[in-house]
Amino acid sequence: MPNPLKYNKEYDKLTADEEKLLEINKKSISDFVEQSPTTSDVNYATRNAHAKTYAVVKGKFLIAKNIPEEFQPFFDDEKYDLTIRFSNAHLKVTRGRKDIPAYGFAVKIKDNNGTLIANYPLVNFPLFPINSVSTFLKLFTSVNQFFVKKWSSFSLMLQIIKVIPSTFTASFVKNIIKLWNKRNDFLLSFDFHSVGVYRLGDHMMKIKLKPQSVDRHFGKKLKVKDAIENYLTNQDFTADVLIQICYDLKNQPVNQLNVEWKKSPYIKIGEVKTDRNSLLDAKACDNEMLSFNPFENKLFFQPVGKIQKLRDEAYKVSIQTRRKINKLLKYER
């Protein structure tokens, strides 16, 4: 294999126009979160994405004994403590029996002293349909305004139409078909992906979680929330932690998220494990208020890329507004 490509801060740099659009988007996020108790008909302010919590569970990240030598300096311990939140990507807390199969697996990693190492918000679809920062910000702002200001869907549809061409890649079409075929499968049987890129020291990586021996038909007759609670209460869960390394931008593009990385083999660096009956109270205020901002990661695990860069301010605005509103609502559970 060639030598890994080194991280460069130029991959993250936004233009002046993109910075202006980000400020508008931040205001729309704040407005959405302030309105979210009404939008979702709940007694607390929700996130502006992945609002619905299925479960929160404690777990462990066990480092592989045969981890490649060049990765060993990043892992001082053999195991790390995890807090994992399972969620649905919808902006609202929906209550119907059938949820869209867009799931989140957000992981908070801490060492034995309780020091935060990294947050990784993973999802069950490996690609993102938008490469343009401006297009993404305009779409996300329109979505927030649609829910908050009850604007006509016409302006939102215009933004969605702009996104459609970037979904016509072989990678994207292949994964849409794959998701459609798995749409009724159990949440924990899905692979979960970082979608965006992260640093691994001076190098850059993508992350994949691959569950071991999970029956995709588990809990077929149950709601997603009930099925996952049933599984985690009665069974252990294990998933392989795999990474890909960026060697060249042609085959492993940093700022083109609608295509899969090629010519970069998966490398197993460890396993995620949860023991049966390790569920936490998902409705408890401390757990509902969890934030998984990857920009709180240690420097050598920070996000990379322009779309990723937007997450920093979005997470900050969301959590600050949620804390303010929930304090006013005196949300305790």
pLDDT (tens digit per residue) in 62-83 = 999 999 988 999 998 999 999 9
The answer to whether residue 2 sits within a structural domain is no
CATH number, residue 50:
2.40.180.10
By C-alpha distance, which of 214, 223, 226 is closest to 274?
214
The answer to whether residue 4 sits within a structural domain is no
Taking the C-alpha atoms of residue 256 and residue 167, their distance in angstroms, rounded to an integer, is 12
Q: 298 is in which domain, residue-wise?
A: 9-328
User: What would the two tokens of residue 187 be?
Assistant: 């949440």
pLDDT at 98: 81
| Residue located via tokens 């208020």 | 289
pTM for this model (two decimals): 0.94
Please give the share of the chain, as a percent, with pLDDT higher than 70: 97
| Residue located via tokens 């060249």 | 248
pLDDT at 149 over 90: no
Taking the C-alpha atoms of residue 166 and residue 212, their distance in angstroms, rounded to an integer, is 33
Tell how strand 52-63 and strand 267-274 pair up. Answer: antiparallel
The answer to whether residue 322 sits within a structural domain is yes
The answer to whether residue 162 sits within a structural domain is yes
Residue 49, classed as helix, strand or coil, is: coil
pLDDT single digits (tens) 218-240: 999 999 999 999 999 999 999 99
Taking the C-alpha atoms of residue 272 and residue 279, their distance in angstroms, rounded to an integer, is 15
pLDDT at 216: 96
| Residue located via tokens 């931040």 | 26
Q: Is 51 within 8 Å of 241 (Cβ atoms)?
A: no
pLDDT at 152 over 80: no
Residue 301, classed as helix, strand or coil, is: helix
Taking the C-alpha atoms of residue 280 and residue 34, their distance in angstroms, rounded to an integer, is 26
pLDDT at 102 over 70: yes
Q: How far apart are the first and last CA of the chain?
A: 52
Tally the domains of the chain: 1
Taking the C-alpha atoms of residue 191 and residue 62, their distance in angstroms, rounded to an integer, is 18
The answer to whether residue 3 sits within a structural domain is no
Please give the share of the chain, as a percent, with pLDDT higher than 90: 74
CB-facing half-sphere around the CA of 102: CA atoms within 13 A: 13
pLDDT single digits (tens) 14-68: 999 999 999 999 999 999 999 999 889 998 999 989 999 999 999 999 999 999 9
Taking the C-alpha atoms of residue 253 and residue 244, their distance in angstroms, rounded to an integer, is 12
Average pLDDT over residues 245-262: 96
Q: In one letter, which amino acid is 166?
A: S
**Pick the residue with more confidence: 196 or 76?**
196
Other beta carbons within 10 Å of 296: 17
By C-alpha distance, which of 225, 266, 231, 230 is closest to 245?
266
The answer to whether residue 333 sits within a structural domain is no
The answer to whether residue 207 sits within a structural domain is yes
Taking the C-alpha atoms of residue 127 and residue 177, their distance in angstroms, rounded to an integer, is 13
Residue 212: which pLDDT band, with cuts at 50, 70 and 90? very high
H or E element in which residue 63 lies: strand 52-63
The answer to whether residue 251 sits within a structural domain is yes
